[in-house]
Amino acid sequence: MEKIDIVLASGSPRRKDLMEREGVEFTVRVSEVDESLEPDLLRQPEEAAKKLAERKARAVLEEMLNEAYVGTAMVVGADTMVVADGVIYGKPEDEADARRILGELSGRAHQVITGVSVWLAGAPANEEDISIAFRSFAETSHVFFKELDEELIDRYIATGEPMDKAGAYGVQGKGGEMLVERVAGDFDNVVGLPVKRLIAEFGEFFEAAK
Ligand SMILES: Cc1cn([C@H]2C[C@H](O)[C@@H](COP(=O)(O)OP(=O)(O)OP(=O)(O)O)O2)c(=O)[nH]c1=O
């Protein structure tokens, strides 16, 4: 197989760390996408997570092809969402929103769903022969929260952790243990990327990137 250029279509430092930890060689490229969801997708979180991951990867691939990229590329997009009783929680809008979300997650179990979308493109020098294929999957983990009182929520918000994270918390970061009782399923998936499954499903491409 030809050498493959792996591109992580994500601005998340956590996803970058997870890929690096597995020894993958890749570059990062981020493109703005519309993260709003059609009403029917709001009721299907796995589909929604896959859809947003697809948008992210596709937007980056399109930019590359517009810049006349030549080669074989694998573009990986991901989107992580927290879901409790069918309600999707994204990133908090502000501290008050973070306080509300953490209050709602207190003492309960929720799902963390990461949609992953992998786009493969073969772009030879003759640009008429570009081939594109993609495949997406969603991985679900379960997170059990402790009972959180207001004082603890305030202390947690003061760590600054919630603002850039789905569900207003980071299981891995400072203070994650203040909130989380246990995780069932893939821990990396909660952090933002089920990297072992990604590599297992696309092993030959990761090999070809070396
Ligand atoms: C639940 C949870 C989420 N997160 C993070 C993972 C993601 O970075 C973020 C969810 O937002 P996403 O929209 O999935 O990703 P992002 O905006 O950070 O990056 P990009 O769109 O460029 O790919 O929340 C944690 O770090 N720890 C956690 O425990």
**What is the ipTM metric for this complex?**
0.93
| pLDDT the model gives residue 173 | 82
| pLDDT the model gives residue 174 | 80
Instruction: Provide the H-helix boundaries in the chain.
Output: 13-21, 39-42, 45-66, 95-105, 150-158, 176-179, 187-191, 195-201, 203-208
Contacts of 168 (CB under 8 A, 6+ apart): 89, 91, 92, 97, 98, 101, 102, 105, 162
CA of 18 to the centre of ligand 1 (A): 12
Q: CA-CA distance, 192 to 5, in Å (whole number)?
A: 22
CATH code of the domain occupying 4-208: 3.90.950.10
| pLDDT the model gives residue 127 | 67
Taking residue 37's Cβ as centre, other Cβ atoms within 10 Å add up to 19
- For the Cβ of 166 lying below 6 angstroms from any atom of ligand 1, the answer is yes
In the chain, DSSP finds a helix count (H) and a strand count (E) of 9, 7
| pLDDT the model gives residue 2 | 83
Residue ranges of the chain whose pLDDT lies below 70: 127
Cβ proximity of 62 and 42 under 8 Å: no
34 in active site = no
Q: Using CA positions, which residue lies closest to atom 13 of ligand 1?
A: 79
